[in-house]
Structure 1
Amino acid sequence: MIDPQFINLTTDLATANFSLKSGSPVSDAGTKLLFSPSDIKGVARPKGGSVDCGAYEVQ
């Protein structure tokens, strides 16, 4: 199993941050066959070589 390296993985909704850290192994690891044209914050996808895994696109 690969650690996606979230910024702050926690169940505390006040401090949780599921954005990816810079250099995350799942950055640009998503599929180009099935993805949303924007992430959960509305950031256009992809940024970089491919889409990032998860709800957020690294900027």
Structure 2
Amino acid sequence: MGRRKGIMSNQLKEELAKELGFYDVVQQEGWGGIKAKDAGNMVKRAIEIAQQQLANNRHS
């Protein structure tokens, strides 16, 4: 199966990886080297950020 174009920008993914503490793995092995748990946590955090932004936009 081919790879899909990502929804998250590389900049956001890198920021989340740094925040969650596995950016060193990304630098050494690429995105394919991260654990499934880390990928899941990254998506979870991205969703939290998106929800916060939506809530802030509604209250503006």
Q: Which TM-score tier does this pair reach, normalised by the shorter chain?
A: under 0.3
- Greater RCO (CA < 8 Å, at least 6 residues apart): 1
Bigger fraction of residues in helix = 2
More strand by share: 1
Q: Rg: which structure is higher?
A: 2
* TM-score calculated relative to the size of structure 1: 0.22
